[in-house]
Amino acid sequence: MSKEQKTARGEAGRFQIGPGARLEGADLRGVNLRAECLFGSDLRGSLLDDADLSIASLAACDFQGAVLDGANMRGADLRGANLRCTDLQRVDLDGADLDGADLRAADLRGATLVGATLRGCNLSAANLTDATLDGADLTGADLSGARLPPGRLTFKGEPAHKKE
């Protein structure tokens, strides 16, 4: 195990945690990965319900199909991450950086994205029902086909495509 890698314990056993970690399909429910560097890691199909990923470095990670229901991702760096078809229900993404992230068809029902940056983010066909986007920067974001919260949205920037 390299110096920058750590070991985390999840339901299915022990996993090496660090940049480029291979955690596809891992059961990491409730794990504490606060402030960890997982840059470029493979987390496809992983179970991360109620995990603490706050202020973690998750840029360029692949979360496609993962379940992060109720996870704390406050202040996380998710620039360029693949979150396509990911379950992000009730996730706390306040202050997170999701610039350039792929959130196509992601389920963000009840998620909080207060002050999050989503510049150039692809949110097409994403479900943002009951999500809180106050002060989020959606400059250049693709919202085509997205289900948006009812009522008045308050966010910074001008999305590239708005739901009609």
Residue 12 within any structural domain of the chain:
no
pLDDT, tens digit, 9 for 90 and up, residues 92-143: 999 999 999 999 999 999 999 999 999 999 999 999 999 999 999 999 999 9
- The answer to whether residue 11 is domain-embedded is no
Q: Is residue 97 part of a domain?
A: yes
Res. 152: pLDDT tops 90 = no
Could you tell me if residue 51 is inside a domain? yes
Cα–Cα distance for residue pair 41/142, rounded to 1 Å: 25
Q: Which domain holds residue 147?
A: 20-164
Residue whose entry in the numeric block shows the structure tokens 């948006």: 148
Cα→Cα distances 29→10, 61, 92, Å: 7, 18, 15
For 42-55, give one letter per residue: b (16+ CB within 10 A) or e. Answer: bbbbbbbbebbbbb
Provide the domain count of the chain: 1
Strands (E), 11-147: 13-17, 136-137
Each residue's pLDDT tens digit, 6-46: 556 554 457 788 999 999 999 999 999 999 999 999 999 99
Q: What is the pLDDT of residue 1?
A: 36
Please give the model's pTM, rounded to 2 decimal places.
Answer: 0.87
